[in-house]
Amino acid sequence: MSSEFFSIVDIITLPDGANYSYQEFLNVLLHAATSSTDSLESASNDLKSKVPNTRIPSADTIFNYIKSNSIEYILSSFRKINNEIFRMMKLKNNVHDIAIDFHDVEYYGCRDTLCIRGIKPKNGTSWGYSFCTLDVIGNSKLTLDVIDINGLSKDYSILMESLFERIEKMGVKVGTVYMDREFFNRKVISKMEKYKVDFVIAAKSNKRIKEMLERHRKENGDTSTVFEYKFQGEEQTFNIVAVWDKEKKYSIFATNKKVSSIDTFVKQIPEEYRKRWNIETGYRVKKDFKIRTCSKSPVARTLFFVVQCIMYNILNVLKSVLDITAYQMKSVINQDIIKAVKEGVNSLSNITVRSFLECLTRYNKERRRALRARLRDL
């Protein structure tokens, strides 16, 4: 399956006269992403020790192949792969909640390295690479898009336009957009209104919001509330939902959803926002496929993050028909990589992914039908 998805379009283009094939490159890349040898150098050496006297590219060779590509090509390839995954899972005609977030990858080298930017302090560093991700959340989970924002200013207006243009091209029907407090600004909310989509954003408190909440507490005590709000100089209004929590402070959300009743709304919005934690869970799963590197190359760094996202998507394709964990999938992939290297085959695909999914979908449907029939007979 991984081989087929990564071959929908080559994730990188090999240079003219390359000594190794794309599949030979892919064997080492996927071995690094799915085994305990979580670097290209370790993965290459491990394959050479397990399958001696075979053609296995070195880490230096692979890095040279990667660096001859561009970030734009890698991200374009990722989107083409995702388009096929989205069609294959038959998600196009359904409405999906989505989450938009920034994902930072820590960096511990020189801060003057190309494309390194300041990030939220994390694991002993405040420098790293940054990507903006767009995820489908809910029953179906997929990372639909990645935008490389390294070396760029975070222009939220352009960022939102780019994301929604891609959403439209993919034919994704958007339910509610969930974002964290970094997106609580006038540019983002203005774009949400332009595209006429519902949003729930964790809001930052400011002087005006604090004054409104203090006024509410004086009049009503320590209770939750909902009030209309707009940024200074703007005509567009939205709702601030302030929930008085167990820690005796307000958790604040911004939303353009219509208020039915305050009592219902202060329960509904925080509960809905919990859906966004799917993206945080997704980040933890993606780390299972992380390729570690000391490379300063932004192209290599982008490729390795994209590989994490593709493997996460493949896992969720499998989860639509199988009860499987990331560890189990990684184990099977590594068995197949060893087999491919030993046999010198270009592909292990003897059944297409589409046929595989359709077969298991029919099997699961028949199994549920048989189980219901048995329960009726009891």
Q: What is the 3-state secondary structure (H, E, C) of the chain?
A: CHHHHHCCCCCCCCCCCCCCCHHHHHHHHHHHHHCCCCCHHHHHHHHHHHCCCCCCCCHHHHHHHHHCCCHHHHHHHHHHHHHHHHHHCCCCCCEEEEEEEEEEEECCCCCCCCCCEEEEEECCEEEEEEEEEEEEECCCCEEEEEEECCCCCCCHHHHHHHHHHHHHHHCCEEEEEEECHHHCCHHHHHHHHHCCCEEEEECCCCHHHHHHHHHHHHHHCCCCEEEEECCCCCCCCEEEEEEECCCCCEEEEEECCCCCCHHHHHHHHHHHHHHHHHHHHHHHHHHHHCCCCCCCCHHHHHHHHHHHHHHHHHHHHHHCCCCCCHHHHHHHHHHHHHHHHHHCCCCCCCCCHHHHHHHHHHHHHHHHHHHHHHHHHC
Averaged pLDDT, 258-278 = 89
Q: In this predicted model, what pLDDT tens digit does every residue of 237-260 receive, in sequence order?
A: 999 999 998 888 999 999 999 988
% of the chain at pLDDT higher than 70: 97
Q: Pick the residue with more confidence: 179 or 110?
A: 179
What radius of gyration do the chain's Cα atoms show?
24
pLDDT above 60 for 348 = no
Encode pLDDT of 187-230 as tens digits: 999 999 899 999 999 999 999 999 999 999 999 999 999 999 99
Residue 60 pLDDT > 70, yes or no? yes
Q: CATH number of the domain at 74-201+255-288, out of 3.30.450, 2.60.40, 3.30.420, 1.10.3470?
A: 3.30.420
Which pLDDT belongs to residue 367?
85
pLDDT of residue 255: 96
119 vs 75, residue with greater confidence: 75
What is the mean pLDDT of the segment spanning 344-362? Answer: 75
- The tens digit of pLDDT for each residue in 32-41 reads 999 888 899 9
**Residue 346, pLDDT score:** 61
pLDDT at 15: 93
Q: What is the average pLDDT across 138-145?
A: 88
Per-residue pLDDT tens for 306-329?
Answer: 999 999 999 999 998 889 999 999
In this predicted structure, the answer to whether residue 144 has a pLDDT above a threshold of 70 is yes
Q: Say if residue 350's pLDDT is above 70.
A: no
Checking if the pLDDT of 74 tops 90, the result is yes
pLDDT of residue 108: 83
Q: What tokens were used for 189?
A: 């909310």
What value does the mean pLDDT of the chain take?
Answer: 89
The predicted pLDDT at position 364 comes to 85
- Residues 6 or more apart whose CB falls under 8 angstroms from that of 56 comprise 24, 27, 28, 44, 47, 48, 341
pLDDT higher than 80, residue 88: yes
157-180 confidence digits (pLDDT tens)? 888 998 998 888 888 899 999 999
What's the average model confidence in pLDDT over 139-154? 84
What pTM was estimated for this model as a whole? 0.89
pLDDT at 138: 82
Say whether pLDDT at 67 is over 60.
yes
CATH 3.30.420 domain extents, the chain: 74-201+255-288
Can you give the pLDDT at residue 345? Answer: 65
Higher pLDDT, 98 or 154: 98
- The percent of residues above 90 in pLDDT, for the chain, comes to 53
